[in-house]
Amino acid sequence: MATNTLSTERKFNWGGGKSPFSVSYGKLMMWLFLLSDAFTFSSLLIAYGFIRYSFQSPIHNLVVKPFDHLSHDFVQEMVEKTKYFVQDHWPSPELVFNHFPFVHGIHLPLFFVSLMTFILILSSVTMVLAVEAGHRNAKSEVSKYMLMTIIGGAMFLGCQAWEWSTFIGEGARLYGNPYGPRSFAALFFIVTGFHGFHVFSGVVLNVIAYINVLKGTYEKRGHYEMVEKVGLYWHFVDLVWVFVFTFFYLI
């Protein structure tokens, strides 16, 4: 009788007594949460795609080239000289996002956002290195890489704060903006804000896990699975940025 039950268990993954997906419940639940979160972000981005597609394509920029010098009031210059920002056409992202900290009056299209992307990818790499070190139970390495991840996340948040304040400084609001279609800035604030909130909560989770690594909580537990779970969330944030970057700055 006993041997019979054993053979059934071996046959079926779902027979009970073992994890059918071969991951712990925490990791599985993190995956399911990320799936639902992916749906949330998808609906936001699809809303963006719908509104973006219901407007005319951006007007091609024939005048301003990268590294060109611009006047102090860049938006005004664009509106007067080139008539790029009009109501029926979606604004060309390279003409809107062309600022860089400490550099004034030079047209640097998409330079800053590329830097932000680079920072986020790099912090994702340090996170996965922390997870990899966790598999070897190397406490000092885990804490080193987690600290680097936290710094990367904080840098990204700082960049986003700067971008937002520049954008708001030019007159962008939730209810309107000087670049053309009213929904442009509203969508930008809502989607990058929602993503930024995810980065922020990711940094908070990372800090908590980092403190626990330093305290030796996971060392006592015998495994660094919590770092893996936080890592899954962090990579998801990076993944979402790939699409936010694609839709807001490239398309």
Partner 1 sequence: MEHIEHLEHTETPKDMKSQIWKTFWILLAFTVVDIVIYFILLSNHSMWKNWLFILLGVVKAYFIVGVFMHMKFERKTLMYSIIVPMIFVVFFVTLMIIEGDYTNLLRWFK
CB of 105 to partner 1, least distance (A): 21
> Which 2-21 residues touch partner 1, going by CB under 8 A?
13, 18-21
CB of 72 to partner 1, least distance (A): 25
Other CB atoms closer than 10 Å to residue 84's CB: what's the count? 22
Q: Which is nearer to partner 1, 117 or 143 (CB)?
A: 117
**Of 103, 161, 168, 250, which one interacts with partner 1 (CB under 8 A)?**
250
Using rule CB under 8 A, residue 47 touches partner 1: yes
**Of 70, 106, 108, 122, which one interacts with partner 1 (CB under 8 A)?**
122
CB of 251 to partner 1, least distance (A): 5
Using rule CB under 8 A, residue 171 touches partner 1: no
For the chain, how many residues are written?
A: 251
Given a contact cutoff of 8 angstroms between Cβ atoms, the answer to whether 195 and 52 are in contact is: no
**Of 8, 9, 10, 43, which one interacts with partner 1 (CB under 8 A)?**
43
Stretch that binds partner 1, among 67-75, 77-85, 98-106, 228-236 (CB under 8 A): 228-236
**Of 5, 8, 57, 71, which one interacts with partner 1 (CB under 8 A)?**
57
Using rule CB under 8 A, residue 38 touches partner 1: yes
Which letter does DSSP use for residue 4 in this model?
A: H
Token output for 100: 């860089």
Given a contact cutoff of 8 angstroms between Cβ atoms, the answer to whether 107 and 92 are in contact is: no
Token output for 16: 């009970």
Using rule CB under 8 A, residue 127 touches partner 1: yes
CB of 59 to partner 1, least distance (A): 10
Q: Which is nearer to partner 1, 185 or 244 (CB)?
A: 244
Say which residues have a Cβ less than 8 Å from residue 14's Cβ, sequence separation at least 6: 20
Cβ burial 184-213 (10 Å sphere, 16+ → b, else e): bbbbbbebbeebbebbbebbebbbebbebb
Number of residues that bind partner 1 (CB under 8 A): 68
For 15, the 3-state DSSP assignment is: coil
Using rule CB under 8 A, residue 186 touches partner 1: no
Among the listed residues 174, 226, 184, 180, the one whose alpha carbon sits nearest the alpha carbon of residue 205? 226
Q: Which is nearer to partner 1, 188 or 236 (CB)?
A: 236
For 106, the 3-state DSSP assignment is: strand
Q: Which is nearer to partner 1, 69 or 220 (CB)?
A: 220
Other CB atoms closer than 10 Å to residue 223's CB: what's the count? 13
